[in-house]
Amino acid sequence: MKDIFKEQLIKRKPNIQTTLSKIAIITGAIALAAAVMLFEVIVVFAPFIWAGIVIAVVIVLKRFSVEFEYALTNHDLDIDIIIAKSRRKKCLSCNVRDFEAFRPVGTTEFEHAFSSAHERKDFSSGAGERHEFLFNKGGKKLRVVFEPNDEILTAMLPFLKRGTYPTGMSARNK
């Protein structure tokens, strides 16, 4: 069998929580910058303090730029998070053959298996067609949501154990 390598990059879409957080950070920075003017002792240093506030706000706001990278090498799936297009962190590494269940998000098949999960991780943008799988990690059942494209789905399906995914499921028929 030929070696398989597929990868995909997904940018997380901003939701209401991240938008409100950004507004709170900017509002707090403006309030802090205005508060600097109230203290006569530090007014001389105000331009430096304001510059520090602006730099801090830019650094913190960049952390809201999140991308996920899915890499499928043969039957191994790796999910990494990329923050601010500069820092990468490995989030998950698993073997597709170890999945206990696999399905599109929103379907009711294998509901009993998925309801027994101890923890849920979401590595998707929140906007596209999402899938979820269940597997054991360190003795706990982990429910993982991700957003694979057709290439990754097509490459994964042959490695899934029979009976762990909905009948009739293929890359096009999600």
SS3 of 1-45 = CCCCEEEEEEECCCCHHHHHHHHHHHHHHHHHHHHHCCCHHHHHH
Report if residue 42 sits inside a domain: yes
Report if residue 58 sits inside a domain. yes
Q: What does the pLDDT read at residue 170?
A: 55
Query: Distance (Å, rounded) from C-alpha 127 to C-alpha 130?
Result: 8
Give the model's pLDDT for residue 171.
Answer: 45
Domain interval for residue 23 = 16-62
Residue 26's pLDDT is 95
* Domain total in the chain: 1
Would you place residue 1 in the very low, low, confident or very high pLDDT band (cuts 50, 70, 90)?
low
pTM (2 decimals)? 0.78
Q: What is the mean pLDDT of residues 22-33?
A: 94
pLDDT score for 92: 92
- Segment 61-76 shows an average pLDDT of 92
Residue 90 resides in a domain: no
Q: In sequence order, what are the beta bridge partners of 134?
A: 101, 143
Cβ burial of 144 (10 Å; 0-12, 13-18, 19+) is buried
Question: What pairing do the DSSP bridges indicate for beta strands 140-146 and 119-123?
Answer: parallel
| 160 assigned to some structural domain | no
Higher pLDDT among residues 162 and 57, named by residue: 57
Q: Give a yes or no: residue 57 inside a domain.
A: yes
Residue 97 belongs to some domain of the structure: no
**Whole-number percent of the chain with pLDDT over 90:** 48
- Binned at pLDDT 50, 70 and 90, residue 37 comes out as confident
100-156 pLDDT tens trace: 999 998 888 888 888 888 899 999 987 888 999 998 888 889 999 999 999 999 899
Gap between the Cα atoms of 142 and 135, Å rounded: 6
In a domain, 54, yes or no: yes
38 lies in a domain? yes
**pLDDT for 54:** 94
